[in-house]
A = this chain, B = another copy of it.
Amino acid sequence: MSASTNQPKNSLPLTNDELRLMNAYWRAANYLSVGQIYLKDNPLLERGLTLDDVKPRLLGHWGTTPGLNFLYVHWNRIIKARDLNLLYIIGPGHGGPGLVANSYLEGSYTEVYPHIERNSDGIKRLFRQFSWPYGIPSHVAPETPGSIHEGGELGYSLVHAYGAAFDNPDLVVACVVGDGEAETGPLATSWHGNKFLNPATDGAVLPILHLNGYKIANPTVLARIPQAELEALMRGYGYEPYTLEGHEPEEMHQKAAATFDKIFDRIAEIQHAARVKGVKERPAWPMLILRTPKGWTGPKVVDGKPVEDTWRSHQVPFSELREKPDHLRLLEEWMRGYKPEELFDAKGRLREEIAALAPKGRLRMGMSPHANGGMLLKPLTVPNFRNFAVPVEATKRGALEVESTRVLGRLLDKVLEANKEEKHFRIFGPDETASNRLGDLIPGAKKAWMAEELPVDENLSPAGRVMEVLSEHMCQGWLEGYLLTGRHGFFSC
């Protein structure tokens, strides 16, 4: 392709080559996702599809998967362009096939599980193991490279994202919130995590509200309120909403690249303002409203009923392959539509120019050390607990009145002090640290607070180590995210 034809049209962010390759990468991820759900053999469709190639029992969730894959491809671009540490948290964790496919494409999967080779045998094993006895779960699971958030744990994605971002100033946590999950209580309150995140010393959280419109059998609330109302909701939660909507792949790649360039510039600006210019105000962090069809690129109509862009895409968009011969044809057409022969070479290896889009080494999302906390964990310095013993004279048993948690508060105060430099220990609780008699730790540690302060307030600070909010869900979720990324915490309730 000549230089002139490779120029972006109308100042579009992606060159024609970039666009072509990114779309190919996305097709490869989608192809491998469908393959995991349906196939046990003939992984690259080197011959016509027969019933013997199809799994006898079909399990898995297609609906959310292409959208998750689309984001993965775009994160790869952003990571490479900005040399970014990006942790990807998947609220709609039942889109497991997509995350497995992407960590396979970037090579992480094979490094962790060498028997899943990067060739057609490996792809066949990749397909077979999915939702299969002694194989892997259909959801994003602890064994999925790059994951700290279990699929199906609806409602906790955004609290996990905030927990991961605390004290990780160089990390960006991109968190997809499903529009079904967004109806849960824990998720609905977790947007307020931005009132506890310090842009100077914590990382960034980028929430993506993924509206594909349907849950299992119903439309979702947030997909069916007016756009202006939804944007007001996000501004009310303290975010600056960006919107990305569409279904035509090439147009969507260009729009996505432009939008993410803006969003990541904005994140950098916010962090620069807080870290260099000393701006103290809570910023309106960007968030993305992403509207794509449920089951995007999947079958449009099955048995006369619309499937793409409806709840019928939620799980397996069609089954009964043994009963209905045209379903086998439909599957083959669907999979061949991704043009696997353009994506994989004769040995089943992802073609080099496509594979080159993935970041290298630990910048690959599947290899993020933050998703594998044990790699980063440093021991917590704890003073000798014997120094906090309450002396009781043998002749005066029962004479002293002592509260055990008050003693614990003094111990924790010293733990906080001893780990001040490391910044890897926080206290979590639903507004009860003082009333649980742990108050002696508060003056030294302070309580994290990024909202308005008044003169009457005591011990609030953007740098506080005590996380108090009146939601056990948030406290618990923050703690989980903090621990799973290799730090230490204490939760009282």
Which 7 A-B pairs have CB atoms at the shortest separation, nearest pair first?
A233-B236, A185-B185, A188-B189, A224-B451, A232-B236, A188-B188, A183-B470
Taking the full assembly, how many copies of this chain does it contain? 2
Of A109-117, A324-332, A394-402, A429-437, which stretch is located at the interface? A429-437
Are A432 and B474 neighbours in the complex by a CB distance under 8 Å?
no
Can you sample 21 A-B contacts with CB below 8 Å?
Answer: A183-B192, A183-B470, A183-B471, A184-B189, A184-B470, A185-B185, A185-B186, A185-B188, A185-B474, A216-B432, A217-B468, A218-B447, A218-B468, A219-B454, A219-B457, A226-B452, A230-B236, A231-B236, A232-B233, A236-B237, A309-B456
A112 CB, min distance to chain B CBs, angstroms:
32
Does A306 interact with chain B (Cβ within 8 Å)?
A: yes
Are B431 and A218 neighbours in the complex by a CB distance under 8 Å?
yes
Does A310 interact with chain B (Cβ within 8 Å)?
A: yes
A438-479 CB mask vs B (1 if < 8 Å, else 0) is 000000000101011110110010000000111101100000
Q: A306–B455 Cα gap in the complex (Å)?
A: 11
Quick one: which of B195, B224, B229 contacts A221, CB cutoff 8 A?
A: B195
Quick one: which of B221, B234, B471 contacts A185, CB cutoff 8 A?
A: B471
| Interface of A: prevailing SS | loop
Are A221 and B236 neighbours in the complex by a CB distance under 8 Å?
no
Does A157 interact with chain B (Cβ within 8 Å)?
A: no
Q: A380–B225 Cα gap in the complex (Å)?
A: 35
Report the nearest B residue to A231, measured CB to CB.
B236
Are B155 and A431 neighbours in the complex by a CB distance under 8 Å?
no
A116-131 CB mask vs B (1 if < 8 Å, else 0) is 0000000000000000
Which of A215, A447, A471 has the most C-beta atoms of chain B within 10 angstroms of its own C-beta? A471
Which B residues are in CB contact (< 8 Å) with A221? 192, 195, 451, 469
A191 CB, min distance to chain B CBs, angstroms:
8
Q: A187–B470 Cα gap in the complex (Å)?
A: 11
Are B185 and A184 neighbours in the complex by a CB distance under 8 Å?
yes
Q: A434–B449 Cα gap in the complex (Å)?
A: 44
Does A69 interact with chain B (Cβ within 8 Å)?
A: no
Q: A184–B435 Cα gap in the complex (Å)?
A: 19
A215-250 CB mask vs B (1 if < 8 Å, else 0) is 111111100111001111111111000000000000
Does A39 interact with chain B (Cβ within 8 Å)?
A: no
Which B residues are in CB contact (< 8 Å) with A435? 216-217
Are B451 and A225 neighbours in the complex by a CB distance under 8 Å?
yes
Does A154 interact with chain B (Cβ within 8 Å)?
A: yes
Report the nearest B residue to A219, measured CB to CB.
B457
Does A150 interact with chain B (Cβ within 8 Å)?
A: no
Does A180 interact with chain B (Cβ within 8 Å)?
A: yes
Does A181 interact with chain B (Cβ within 8 Å)?
A: yes
Which B residues are in CB contact (< 8 Å) with A233? 232-233, 235-237
Q: A431–B180 Cα gap in the complex (Å)?
A: 9
Known contacts A183-B189, A185-B188; decide if A235 and B229 are in contact (CB<8 Å): yes
Are A229 and B225 neighbours in the complex by a CB distance under 8 Å?
no
Which B residues are in CB contact (< 8 Å) with A453? 224
Are A456 and B236 neighbours in the complex by a CB distance under 8 Å?
no
Which B residues are in CB contact (< 8 Å) with A185? 155, 184-190, 471, 473-474
Known contacts A185-B155, A225-B451, A456-B310; decide if A433 and B217 are in contact (CB<8 Å): yes
Quick one: which of B216, B217, B225, B447 contacts A452, CB cutoff 8 A?
A: B225
Known contacts A184-B470, A185-B186; decide if A238 and B225 are in contact (CB<8 Å): yes
Known contacts A218-B447, A234-B236; decide if A306 and B456 are in contact (CB<8 Å): yes
Report the nearest B residue to A228, measured CB to CB.
B235
Report the nearest B residue to A235, measured CB to CB.
B232
